[in-house]
């Protein structure tokens, strides 16, 4: 079962972190409180880093799962 696999749980949490950062960044951008967009841009860079980690974990999960 997938819920018993620690790598799956870690990958799922990483994907949820990416979603949370994305929503926070979009909210910051949409609020209009940052006219230069510097804060929203920095948040999106954090999203890119978190997304990289999430993709590595998902690919690792798929690789190890396919090996049995």
**Structural contact between residues 61 and 11, judged by C-beta atoms closer than 8 angstroms:** yes
Q: Give the separation between CA 12 and CA 5, rounded to whole angstroms.
A: 11
User: Model-level pTM greater than 0.95?
Assistant: no
Range(s) of the domain holding residue 50: 2-66
Tens of pLDDT, residue by residue over 2-59, are 888 899 999 999 999 999 999 998 888 888 887 777 888 898 899 999 999 999 999 9
**Structural contact between residues 56 and 20, judged by C-beta atoms closer than 8 angstroms:** no
Q: What is the pLDDT of residue 59?
A: 96
3-state secondary structure the chain: CHHHCHHHHHHHHHHHHHHHHHHHHHHHHHHCCCCCCHHHHHHHHHHHHHHHHHHHHHHHHHHHHHCC
Q: Is the pLDDT of residue 68 over 80?
A: no
Q: What is the pLDDT of residue 47?
A: 93
Q: What is the pLDDT of residue 52?
A: 98
Q: What is the pLDDT of residue 45?
A: 93
Domain count, the chain: 1
């Amino acid at each position: 079962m997938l819920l018993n696999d620690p790598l799956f749980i870690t990958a799922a949490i990483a994907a949820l972190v990416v979603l949370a950062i994305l929503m926070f960044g979009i909210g910051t951008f949409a609020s209009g409180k940052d006219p230069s967009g510097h804060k929203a841009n920095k948040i999106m860079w954090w999203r890119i880093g978190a997304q990289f980690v999430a993709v590595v974990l998902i690919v690792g999960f798929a690789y190890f799962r396919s090996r049995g």
